[in-house]
Structure 1
């Protein structure tokens, strides 16, 4: 199979909306962990290892989707997305550097809890790949708030970048692609028979299929912004700062 750089960029752009969905899923997982913790607190229930570990795993996944969106977007966007772009967003520097601490050091990052809310309990110190000592300042708000604030800003940033790209049509699935897939031993014989009987109709249908993946991604990102704005309303975000607990 031959693949040009331009074709690869188009393919990556077509994957982008799925990665946005993953970003949304991980964000909501973080918020759900926070909601469940607050619910347990109000009911006077104690957490356990399983419930308290979920926020660590959810945040690790969330921060890694940021890396994925940055790298995938940089494949087809010009100029590329740089960490300096992300640093300018609310909590952008923390998301970037804490992602490194979680991925490369195994640091749990979110390991503080008080009155139902999860926090980063203190500044994080680590050495980077060059041996330089790095200080990662802990956010002064709880995990739900800083993830929602970052996600809103990051989503708006990606919308602007994708809007500037203009229209990109997703690569079409060819009849040859389907034929190749049907060669798999996992495909039952009756499926191949159905395909062969309707091959002409399927080929005509494929020619009519059109998709604008970046447009779909923009729609998803705007929905994330709306979700973040809703969850950051006062009725959801009567947050406390760690300094108030001292």
Structure 2
């Protein structure tokens, strides 16, 4: 039986990353909303909450490049930064991802009235040592990540929805070759290996997974979630 193609596997990887977007976004929102609630209640801010927002935002920003790399494999079409221009804050997220990943810059460095911001424009050097001015957004981080996520999910939805029903993207994430190798991991007990030896290996390759439908469902839920935050 044929094993899952790279394209099918990347569709599952995209599903995993869309779910991670929701997880990382929720981390940022929780920290930001906690800050706002404490400010309104005239309570002192939790110690280290600003660092927490930066840590969560760092993880969130890394997903931008990952999804840009995954999507062309799934959709079989080139994805450029200019092609994402309809996504609010995409230019900033592209630049800030590089600033965080390559420079280690904790870019969220202003707190006012319970909200977190990037204080001002800043300069960084690209891989050719050319100066790049990164423009600070006027929006607070909670607003920015919500708007960005909503628009990115809408863009992903429009790119992926034409693929729904494609047999080229149907099937399981892992085929029998994977399980044949995994079962020999030293952490697997011998009795489980004996049980696996009796498994119908062909059934493992006949899985009816539909990652595109799952991706679209997750995107719909995430878009609705973002709308509720506004």
Task: Give me the TM-score of the superposition, normalised by structure 1.
Answer: 0.84
Matched residue, 1:101:
99
CA distance in 1, matches of 2:173, 2:69: 23
| Alpha carbons of structure 1 residues 68 and 195: separation in structure 2 relative to 1, 3 Å | same
Aligned: 1:110 with 2:111: no
1:1-246 residue pairs with structure 2 within 5 A? 7-47=5-45, 49-166=47-164, 167=166, 168-171=169-172, 173-196=174-197, 198-200=198-200, 203=201, 205-206=203-204, 209-232=207-230
CA distance in 2, matches of 1:12, 1:23: 16
- Offset, 1:43: 3.3
Secondary structure at the aligned position of 1:88 is classed as coil
- Offset, 1:208: 5.3
| Alpha carbons of structure 1 residues 181 and 119: separation in structure 2 relative to 1, 3 Å | same
1:152-197 superposed Cα distances (whole Å, 9 cap, x missing partner): 000000000001334221346444432321111110122123333x
- Offset, 1:21: 0.6
CA distance in 2, matches of 1:192, 1:79: 42
| Alpha carbons of structure 1 residues 32 and 172: separation in structure 2 relative to 1, 3 Å | closer
Q: How many equivalent residue pairs?
A: 225
RMSD (Å), alpha carbons? 2.1
- Offset, 1:220: 0.5
